[in-house]
Chain A
Amino acid sequence: MKTVFAPTSGMTPVDTSYCPGCSHGIAHRIIMECLEERGALGRAIGVVPIGCAINAHHFMNVDMCESTHGRAPAIAAGIRRVHPDKLVFTYQGDGDLASIGAAEIVHAAHRGEKFTTFFINNAIYGMTGGQMAPTTLIGQRATTAVDGRTVEQAGMPLRVCEMLATIDMAVFVERVMLTNPAQVRRAKAAVHKALDIQEARKGFTFVEFLSACPTNWGYAPVDALKWVEEKMAAYYPVKNFRTVEL
């Protein structure tokens, strides 16, 4: 019989702990598929964040470590110093990366650290229960902004790709979204490209995934995907910001 589909060996054979409609599962899978396709699972080392994805090491079938909140890029920089030939990545949410870990991600990019950061932007704190993130859109409700975020109170949402793209050593910066099969294929191409550039030791590589959090947004999964396409992508354009020729 012809095999038409097999799950990637980059994922452990267990159910994930993520909510229905959450984009983490898709993001995990495409990253792990990419590593498997590259034959890199055995030489990959990943760092997971504080947030929902702290559990990622139960699902991603590679050597991994947990991180203090926001410091995954510093930890990956440390791993890099010991293992210059391995494939190193961090997987971080928007509270972790854009708020408490803003300094670490900026400086990892600025030093041109040769690892890849996968950034899950769902415009909310997930694990702690829907508080406002730096990425929460204006008007978007959160448990710490019950009438919706206002500019006066919390400023404008932080565009991380745009910020990192101003840094010379951030050589690959792309924003993708995980809303339909075509977008998922684009996302996967971006992951491969980022890993190609990491393996060519060109500099820091970064992929942002616009992601859905139906539970904390209070939407049904399909509506949540629509909200990503209509609202998030309007403020956070899905595109490549920086790439480098290999």
Chain B
Amino acid sequence: MKYKMFFAGSGGQGTLAMGQMIAKAAMHEGKEVTWLPSYGPEMRGGTANCTVVVSDKPISCPLINEADVLVVMNLPSLLKFEKMVTPGGLLIINSSLVPEKASRDDIRVLEIPANEKATELGNDKAANMIMLGAIIRETSVVRPETVYDELAVMFTGRKEKFLPMNRKALDLYLH
């Protein structure tokens, strides 16, 4: 089993954190993982992309030519990266911020209104957790329980008060 995943959005959308959650959970399930961000001089508002590879075997290369799973958080990301999805692969779109449809018909496309749902839950920042739930349900790349554990680690101490909200966001499309 090998998953090549690419997450694309803009800074501040939690795009990199989404990829990290999957990488950490997969590692704790005993898988080999790599997480590779794009990096640039922008601190906020620039593009924020990351590549995650999850595999049963050692991963030769953390860079990917095509993605089995592409997650796009905004329109520029869809336009730029749609072509990198493997035929038959999965594209998950944050339809709240992507007014256009996917142009390819040889891939599976899932639209999640993540920002709208997050607003309904009362936390705009939880859009990435909503997307994460959908990714895990659609791919089974990691088990939900492992992600719950990661979430609990992520929201400890002063951040613990945010745990229930994020768990709720994660669960929205997880099951």
In-complex A–B contact (CB below 8 Å): no
Residues of A within 8 A of B (CB): none
Residues of B within 8 A of A (CB): none
